[in-house]
Amino acid sequence: QSCATRCFAEFGSEDLNNWLSCTIEDNQCVKIPTAGVDSSVGDVSDTGPAYNDAALKAFDPTTLIGKWYKTDGLNPNYDLFDCQANTFDASPGPGQAKAAELDMGILFRVPRPASSGGGFWENQLKEHMVVDKLAPETPNPTGRTMHTNGKMFGLTFEENWYIVGESDGSKGIPAFKLVAYKGRTLQGKYEGSFVYAKEPILPSAAVPAVKEAASKAGLDFDKFTRIDNTCPTTTKALNDPTAGTGTETTDWIDLVIGEGGVIDWVIPGWRGEYNK
């Protein structure tokens, strides 16, 4: 998963997303191994610990609006990328409450191994979240707090989020949100957990409350890893078109349709050179 994410970070673009969607999901030109997991049936959260009892029933989604840092995460394949910041904006539909739906801006970095030259790729994505208690017409058998579905890097995903702990910043406990989630893609199901804080590093004064909330949800905060949010700016991202690294997002075109590229492997002679 981390290897695939590095590739998406290096060559990602809207055109590549569309190509992946067309070849892998829409027409199944490329078969994806699923390791025996049928991700097309069942709820995304029918395996592993259940969070419905731990999810905060009185959660106010307006408290998410604004910028939050992901400071600590559990799943190394999904939670631990560098420089993670999420920004939430209210995006209600007609007649809906203010925060019935939220647009989430996502920023993260993916490091390139030092053996390959080092540096990092920077990604900015968006997801659309639906707050379940403000969308009563949507079935919610798992007791999730919010859910999202759509496509990321051209591939369909679904996620259920459970807010299992929080502080509003009062009583000497710095503001935080503890999120547990379960999701699925074509390759199967996954889950994890992370902490949001208003600072790049979770304040030590919040740690006891986070540990207590995690324990009540069946999680062990000692197994979480701190996310590196130092975000140095001494060098540009490898996928910055002005960085001069040769890895900007438009380079994927050569990878796909250039001589010796992906299409040459899949459809030899597609340019008609063998018809002359």
What does the pLDDT look like over 16-45, one tens digit per residue? 667 666 766 666 676 655 555 554 434 555
Cα–Cα distance, 22 to 156 (Å, whole number): 12
Lowest mean pLDDT among 62-76, 157-171, 175-189: 175-189
Q: Residues 96-148: pLDDT tens digits?
A: 888 899 999 999 988 877 777 788 878 888 899 999 999 888 888 888 999 99
Q: Does the pLDDT at position 265 exceed 90?
A: no
What per-residue confidence (pLDDT) applies to 187?
A: 66
pTM of the model: 0.78
Q: Does the pLDDT at position 274 exceed 60?
A: no
What per-residue confidence (pLDDT) applies to 31?
A: 62
What per-residue confidence (pLDDT) applies to 40?
A: 45
Contact indicator for 191, 74 with CB cutoff of 8 Å: no
Contact indicator for 227, 81 with CB cutoff of 8 Å: yes
- Which stretch of DSSP H or E encloses residue 4? helix 2-11
Q: Residues 222-236: pLDDT tens digits?
A: 999 999 999 988 888
Mean pLDDT of 174-187: 90
Residue with tokens 């740690």: 207
What per-residue confidence (pLDDT) applies to 41?
A: 36
Residue environment code for 86-101, b if the CB has 16+ CB neighbours within 10 A, otherwise e: bbbebbeeeeeeebbb
